[in-house]
Structure 1
Amino acid sequence: MAEVICLGIMVADLVGRPVRGLPEKGKLVLVDEMELHTGGCAVNTAIALRKLGIKTGVIGKVGRDVLGDFIVNRLNQVGIDTRGVKRDPSTTTSATMVMVNEDGERSFIHYVGCNAKLTPEDIDWDIVKGARILHIAGSLIMPGFDGEPTAEVLKKAKDMGCLTSMDTAWDPSDRWMQVLKPSLPYVDVFLPSLEEARKLSGYDKVEEMADVFLEVGVKIVAIKMGEKGCYIRTNKEQLMLPAFSVKAVDATGAGDAFVAGFLAGLVKGLDLESTAKLANAVGALAVTAIGASSGIRSWEETQAFIAANA
């Protein structure tokens, strides 16, 4: 039985690096590396959790196509429960072209695909039953699931005894809190990026951002701040932890890796500071290799990294 269920977006990522510029119309540019990887918040977080030794399942939707096969096969290979993954014959699997520049920063061309078709009716609640955490991975870019449907799912999960968590994505529709507000009273752990938290809250200071989320019912706010580390806040304590220094190769999936580290810390019963430090470490290691999951280490290796870089 899975300890954590990751529910949300599933994507195939075609990653090229280094991309120094887009070609002119009809022209060609070369990159040194190009690889196909699994992606999407639910997939990235699940794989990172599994590498950390946490029993994990995924709920989401892919097509009955080659990319869908690729994602499901990869999840099965690493020991993730895929019974909750639906195969849609009418729509193809979501995919992203990831262009990584020489500094590891990324630009994206994205096809929404099956992620737009995910609805609460796709959830097999027998898979959720008994899980310690239900994690919503990729809120704001699942049009069939965002808003009131997400709130209803979170409420049901809490009624079943699950801790609930949520990670957001960048909202291309620019609706932000209008979409998310119904869900936040049922979110125990909220893990937005700094820019997402800024757009959602309307504030520039992390303390004020966190206040907005705590006031509507969130129990733990963990704001991902990239190379600046993270800011953690509850009603009783707050922490600002610096990032670990590593050589960045590809930042794809770093936020999802941070989330996985944070959730793993909660499952393992770590205190808040140790949990945040673990999340920073998993996020840092993620950027040391191409793809969202290639740089993730085992629990023991990650703990050794933390000890060596204390």
Structure 2
Amino acid sequence: MTTFDVSSVGFAVLDILGRPVTRIPEGGRVDFIEEIRMTVAGTAAATGMDCAILGLKTRMVTTVGTDDMGDFLISKMQRYGMNTDMVSRDRTHQTSSTILPVRPNGERPALHVPGTARSFTLTEKDYAGALDARIVHVGGTGLLESFDGEPSVKFMKAAKEAGRTTTFDLIQANPETVELVKPLLPYIDYFIPSIEEASEMAGVSDPAEVARYFKSHGVKNAILTMGGDGVYVDPEEGDAFTLPAHDIKVVDTTGCGDSFSAGIIVGLSKGWDIRESARFASAVAAKVAMGLGSDGTLTSFDDTMEAMNSWPVKE
């Protein structure tokens, strides 16, 4: 018997976002914009936050600094109802942080300080707490300098040996990242990268070929998010399929992939099949894309269910 629905392990970052930004003012001049926010973000933390908003009992497993930014992240996670007992504090690195000037079309170039993402890791004595959940989500491979490689492989293997369902996403993947990811693939039940990152690693661009590449290396279910083009799913059982994205006005794409992972996790926690889970995840991502930051306009499970069943999808 586990204590939590999901344990979200890995990359946490403070995002400082502003919109809409069309240029960086010259010299010391000022441009006025409509909105600035600070949010919990990162491939593990944003996913965990969105799981908590959607009603799951969520444990966060990460490292932040002993600075004001770390204080903010922990306080905000707790306000969302996340358990932060396994959020450690690092006195030698600042909290991972990103400045995001969000363009009018929702794109967001980033200025990033890796900070505590580089120092986060787990030892075997941490496994009992980190695996005290039915679903274990690992996010951030590629930026987790101390956890990437053998520590991640040992942890994911332990998760499967403990009978946990595993979900996985990464960030800023490139052709070199695949060497970090390959040893993890046999221990991943649900692999949920963006098509851009997955294509970079697989060396092919067609979604069907990309999914086949990762499944051939051990992934059970390959789920490729494709932004406005929806999602491509190659499940462990049955035929591959594509679902369209919702037809919405995009404000900010920050955290859309993270929120999609949260939607999949919620579906799994409720025993839904992969198609229904992906439908729900698409609605979660749409809710996030309609506001600024990794939570966007996401407010509750019931509200998201209503959106899934009523909002139009793209033709």
Shorter-chain-normalised TM-score: which range?
over 0.9
In 2, Cα distance between the equivalents of 1:234 and 1:123?
34
- What is the match of residue 309 of structure 1? 311
In structure 2, relative to structure 1, the CA distance for the partners of 1:69 and 1:101 (3 Å cut) is same
1:264 aligns with 2:245: no
2:127 equivalent among 125, 147, 150: 125
Instruction: Flag structure 2 segments of 5+ consecutive residues without an equivalent.
Output: none
Determine the C-alpha separation between the residues in 1 that align with 2:149 and 2:181: 6
- 1: CA distance, partners of 2:190 / 2:131: 19
Are the equivalent residues in 1 in contact too, given 2:86–2:130 (CA < 8 A)?
no
Report the 3-state secondary structure (helix = DSSP H, G, I; strand = E; otherwise coil) of the residue aligned with 2:109.
strand
Which residue number corresponds to residue 139 of structure 1? 141
Tell me which residue corresponds to 1:62. Answer: 64
Q: Distance in 1 between matches of 2:139 and 2:179?
A: 18
Quote the Cα distance in structure 1 between the aligned partners of 2:150 and 2:142.
Answer: 12
TM-score by length of structure 1 reads: 0.96
User: In the alignment, what sits opposite 2:229?
Assistant: 228
User: Which residue in 2 is equivalent to 1:195?
Assistant: 196
The residue that corresponds to 1:215 in the other structure is 216
**8 Å Cα contact 2:8-2:138 kept in structure 1:** yes
Closer, same or farther in 2 for the Cα pair 1:123/1:45, shift >3 Å?
Answer: farther
Aligned to 1:82: 84
Shift of 1:122: 8.6
Which string of whole-angstrom CA distances, capped at 9 and with x for unpartnered residues, describes residues 198-235 of structure 1?
A: 01111111111011111111111100000111001124
Alignment partners' CA distance in 2, 1:297 and 1:69: 23
Residue 205 of structure 1: aligned partner: 206
Q: CA deviation at 1:171?
A: 3.1
2-structure distance, mates of 1:32, 1:296: 20
Alignment counterpart, residue 159 of structure 1, candidates 158, 161, 172: 161
Query: CA 1:8/1:129 → structure 2, altered by over 3 Å: closer, same or farther?
Result: closer
Q: Secondary structure at the match of 1:166?
A: strand
Q: Alpha-carbon deviation of 1:142? A: 0.9
Deviating beyond 6 angstroms after TM superposition, the runs of 4 or more aligned structure 1 residues are none
Determine which of 47, 53, 56 is the counterpart of 1:51: 53
- State the partner residue of 2:103: 101
Q: 2:286 maps to what in 1?
A: 284
Q: Is the 8 A contact 2:47 2:261 kept in 1?
A: yes
Kindly indicate whether residue 259 of structure 2 is the aligned counterpart of residue 254 of structure 1. Answer: no
Within 5 Å, give how 1:4-23 maps onto structure 2. 4-23=6-25
The residue aligned with 2:277 is 275
Alignment of 1:34-49 (within 5 A): 34-49=36-51
Q: Quick one: structure 1 residues 96 and 67, their matched pair in 2 at CA, closer, same or farther if it must change by over 3 Å?
A: same
Q: How far, CA to CA, are the matches of 1:283 and 1:5 in structure 2?
A: 20
Provide the aligned length of Structure 1 versus Structure 2: 309
Q: Does 1:182 align with 2:194?
A: no
Question: Contact 1:86–1:122 at 8 Å: present in 2 too?
Answer: no
SS of corresponding position for 1:270: coil
Aligned to 2:152: 150
Letter in structure 1 aligned against 2:309: A
Q: Is the 8 A contact 2:7 2:131 kept in 1?
A: no
Task: Give, in angstroms, the shift of residue 123 of structure 1.
Answer: 6.9
Structure 1: runs of 5 or more not aligned:
none
